[in-house]
């Protein structure tokens, strides 16, 4: 299986209704989850809900006024089999927020993005998506992922007048010419890297089950052996696909936030990473997501 599955199933409050499934979970807000930069294969609907694709399923999630969430277009069985782990529902985020709220800044950040959950995504799609993300903006990344899915993935179905496709397999994507990728998906200089990385993954460069036994430093090195993957992209893949929650990806936004709120001066990225590892410890990945969302939405350090 190319995705994380939590063996411990925490009990959740899920109710089946005519409208869909109602999830009552204090640490769950669709806007916070989908707008914190961790995934790109989703569409925001006019009613404020989010439609996402994962493992060949189309799910729609709407935050309700009472703090619960309405989950549509998915069966209760599929929700437990697929989306329970996708939304990381086996983890106690109320306790995590308490554990990482070690200062006033983190208290503000966890309160601001109270409904964030780190998604457990599929390895290959995450790898290619974050190769595309290098020196890129979220709207362009989303568009590239959508076009790649539409052109080379498998048709899943239609929801609210929009057709959805699965993300292509490594075997399919490695056969696409870089020129075609560049022309249609607008991936720029990343074209050859995407095709070559797809080929290497198809040949076994990444094996989720075996990779789980690697120390994080060794896994990061292995990821960086693939074309188009530098330290930040590797950290993102580790955090969002491999469940390495001690990982602290440093991009432009998080660097500004850390320099403004913690370090109090401009420093190289490596110093930001070292500071984060020392200060946040094994829960650094959670801290990163709350701080990223808080910092970007409030334009801290801009």
Q: Which residues are catalytic?
A: 232
Dihedral pair phi/psi, residue 44, rounded to 5°: -90, 125
For residue 80, the 8-state DSSP code is I
181 CB neighbour count, 10 Å cutoff: 25
Residues in a beta bridge with 165: 155
Question: Alpha helix (H) ranges present in 119-230?
Answer: 123-133, 138-152, 170-173, 178-185, 191-202, 208-211, 216-224
Q: How far is CA 226 from CA 74, 169, 172, 244, in A?
A: 35, 17, 18, 19
Handedness of CA 258, 248, 6, 197 (dihedral sign): positive
Return the SS3 of 14.
Answer: strand
């Amino acid at each position: 299986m190319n995705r994380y599955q939590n063996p411990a199933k925490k009990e959740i409050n899920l109710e089946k209704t005519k409208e869909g499934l109602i999830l009552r979970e204090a640490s769950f807000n669709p806007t916070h989850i989908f707008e914190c930069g961790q995934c790109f294969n989703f569409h925001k609907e006019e009613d404020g809900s989010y439609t996402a694709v994962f493992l060949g399923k189309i799910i729609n999630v709407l935050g309700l006024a009472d703090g619960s969430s309405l989950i549509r277009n998915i069966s209760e069985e599929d929700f437990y089999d697929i989306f329970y782990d996708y939304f990381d529902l086996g983890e106690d985020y109320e306790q995590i927020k308490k554990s990482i709220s070690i200062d006033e800044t983190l208290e503000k950040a966890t309160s601001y993005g109270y409904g964030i959950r780190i998604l457990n995504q599929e390895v290959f799609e995450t790898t290619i998506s974050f190769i595309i993300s290098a020196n890129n903006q979220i709207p362009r990344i989303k568009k590239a992922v959508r076009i790649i899915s539409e052109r080379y993935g498998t048709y899943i179905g239609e929801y609210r007048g929009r057709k959805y496709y699965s993300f292509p397999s490594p075997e399919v994507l490695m056969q696409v010419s870089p020129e075609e990728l560049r022309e249609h998906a607008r991936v720029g200089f990343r074209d050859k890297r995407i095709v070559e990385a797809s080929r290497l993954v198809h040949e076994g460069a990444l094996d989720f089950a075996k990779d789980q036994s690697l120390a994080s430093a060794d896994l990061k090195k292995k990821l960086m052996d693939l074309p188009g993957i530098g330290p930040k992209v590797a950290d993102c893949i580790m955090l969002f696909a491999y469940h390495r929650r001690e990982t602290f990806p440093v991009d432009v936004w998080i660097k500004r936030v850390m320099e403004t709120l913690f370090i109090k001066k401009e420093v190289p990225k490596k110093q930001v990473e070292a500071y984060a590892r020392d200060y946040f410890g094994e829960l650094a990945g959670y801290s990163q997501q709350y701080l990223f969302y808080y910092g970007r939405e409030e334009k801290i350090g801009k």
